[in-house]
Structure 1
Amino acid sequence: MERALETRPRKATNVTLPVDVIEEAKGLGINFSRACEQALRDAIKAEQGRRWATENAGFIAAHNEWVEKNGLPLAECRMF
């Protein structure tokens, strides 16, 4: 996966960070670009999941209510 990240188009950007964080990361040999990219990917995934759950809350509640009343579909086929 790392190689695929290297070949994607990149865009330079500025990030403002506390000095102590920069110094500690440099001292540990952490690649700023990769660390920021991964943190942003994680934040994007979390936000997309939160939005999906919010947008589908009605369906989720209705489905849970149905399962509570009727049981799990195909429950008799479960092997556990």
Structure 2
Amino acid sequence: MPIANPPRQPVTFQADKRAVELAVELGVDVQSVCEQALRVEVARRFQEDNRKVMEAWNVWIEQNGLPLERYRLF
């Protein structure tokens, strides 16, 4: 779950000057685009790094059902 107002971290990087100029001209919020790209990449790597564990857990659930299924109200 995302934090409503996460602490901010100043970041400095170099990017293609023309690409940044075009983005600004088009009204693109470069900071938001960069933050979203970071979130997407972190999620992708987490899934990649944990794929085997998630697959094993899914197999276990298929074979045994949900551990607390009997307590579900739906």
TM > 0.5 = yes
Corresponding residue pairs, total: 68
User: Which residue identity is paired with 1:16?
Assistant: R
* Structure 1 stretches of at least 4 aligned residues deviating more than 6 Å after TM superposition: none
TM-score normalised by structure 2 residue count: 0.70
Instruction: State the Cα RMSD in Å.
Output: 2.8
Identity %: 26
**Pairing 1:1-80 to 2, within 5 Å after superposition:** 1=5, 9=10, 11=12, 15-17=17-19, 22-23=24-25, 25=26, 30=27, 35-80=29-74
The separation in 2 between residues aligned to 1:16 and 1:53, in whole angstroms, is 33
Q: Secondary structure at the match of 2:73?
A: coil
Unpaired segments of 5 or more residues in structure 2?
none
Unpaired segments of 5 or more residues in structure 1?
none
Task: Give the number of the structure with larger relative contact order, counting CA–CA contacts within 8 Å between residues 6 or more apart.
Answer: 2
The separation in 2 between residues aligned to 1:13 and 1:73, in whole angstroms, is 49
The separation in 1 between residues aligned to 2:13 and 2:56, in whole angstroms, is 46
The separation in 2 between residues aligned to 1:57 and 1:13, in whole angstroms, is 33
Q: Secondary structure at the match of 1:56?
A: helix
TM-score normalised by structure 1 residue count: 0.65
